[in-house]
Copies of this chain bind each other. A is one copy, B any other.
Amino acid sequence: MNDLPVVNIGICGLGTVGQGVWKHVTRSRAKLEARLGAKLRLTRASVRDLTKKRQVRVGASRLTTDPMEVATDPKIQIVCELIGGTTVAKAVTLAALRMGKTVVSANKALVCEHGPEIFAEARKHGGHYFFEAAVAGGIPIIKAIREGLVANRFDRIYGILNGTCNYILTRMERERLTYGEILKEAKARGYAEADESLDVDGWDTAHKASIIAYLAHGTWVPTQAMGVEGITRITQVDMHYAREHDLAIKLLAVIERDFKTDELSVVVAPMLLPRTKVLANVNEVFNGVSVTGDVVGETIYIGRGAGQDATASAVISDIVDGVTLLVRGNAALPEPVEHHCPPRPPEHSTNRYYLRLDVKDEPGVLSKIAAATARFKVSIASVQQTQSTRAAAATLMLTTHLTNEKAIRSAVAQLRRLAGVLGTPQLLRIASFED
């Protein structure tokens, strides 16, 4: 056993996830070492505050306040970047990669915003960059797309990628409280950040969708180029409709590629999903991803998308892959082939839609609405009317047959200008995924 090679691991950022990694590597050390034929040493860690009390015991000599010291320590072969953000984290990552090291990261924003530069640096110096923990926490979805489903082209991938949003939507559905009431409680319980906007406005989901789209298609789609909508505008009226029609409302990232036109579409928005779909039943803080490949058909992956332990599980799996490469030969993982897919224009995106409007309760309004939608060739599948919370008004809930995004947006713009329509119409996609 003493002849085994030693792999030194450094942790930049001993926060929640970093402590989880430290804890579980320590606990599973014997098993991991036996599997790998190598000794694992947690050599150093960087922290912001040396005096802070931590869950794990780390000797003072192994701590530093300078993450760059960890990243560039010549003894350390594997650097875990668990700092977050895109400034210090980026500098630390690039410094380690320039020394030919392997970097393991849980940082979706960094991968999403600076992926090409980081990957190029890893390639150039013969190192590796792993980021399983950046998407869907403990679910090995990156490995599945990159390795397990390598025989496939991916027509459609859709997923619930943000635990905070899914928790809020699940509770709104079950308890009929408002968005604001649940958000407040989620914050108190630590299920939502103090500044929740990155989560509830859809940007965290968009970061993850960008990474998945790159792995599946070799094209980087910046989040600004996606349609990104959050969950803040979902009300109990929508929830009630969904319940009545056996639908769930989920914040979905939908990545679709049309292999005839080569167009790629990445959308993040709350959508109605039939209860018969497995993902409609993925609740609370769980994430779920449906991956449809041309060879394998649909495969689905579900698990905790965040939290200390789930994220640590993914980080450790990357550490193990890194150690395998180090001690057993330097095989590189097959990388996505860079490829430029043009974005899919809205007139090529077709969906069924749910449209909710508050209208004046007077004769002729429905016919005006029908005329406005018909003008844009939007065909109505169903109409339901309930009383509005506004005085002398009714709420109409319409669903459409398959229609394209450009047409429905134009129709909604037109509807907003109609005299009988009050406030802003609610437009949601119905994600039946059956076309």
A interface residues with partner B (beta carbon < 8 Å): 24-25, 28, 31-32, 34-36, 132, 137-140, 143-144, 147-153, 278, 281-282, 293, 295-304, 309-310, 312-314, 316-317, 320-321, 324-325, 328-337
Contacts and interface: CB of A to CB of B under 8 A. Distances in A.
Contact of A278 (B132, B302, B329, B336): B302
Contacts of A335: 35
Contacts of A35: 150, 334-337
A147 B152 CA distance: 20
A293 B282 CA distance: 18
13 contacts: A32-B150, A35-B334, A35-B336, A138-B296, A138-B297, A143-B144, A150-B316, A296-B314, A299-B301, A301-B301, A320-B334, A325-B331, A328-B331
Given A278-B302, A321-B147, A309 B328 contact: no
Nearest to A291: B303
Contacts of A330: 328-329, 331
Contact of A329 (B32, B312, B317, B331): B331
Copies in the complex: 2
Chain A interface mostly helix, strand, loop or mixed? mixed
Contact of A151 (B36, B139, B293, B313): B313
A252 to B, nearest CB: 17
Given A328-B331, A328-B332, A331-B331, A299 B138 contact: yes
Nearest to A34: B337
Contacts of A312: 151, 295
A132 B297 CA distance: 16
B337 A149 contact: no
A278 B281 CA distance: 7
A308 to B, nearest CB: 9
A34 B329 CA distance: 21
Contacts of A24: 151, 295
Given A150-B317, A328-B332, A329-B329, 13 more contacts: A24-B295, A34-B337, A139-B299, A140-B144, A140-B149, A143-B148, A149-B313, A151-B316, A298-B304, A299-B303, A301-B302, A325-B331, A329-B331
A333 B324 contact: yes
A147 B320 contact: yes
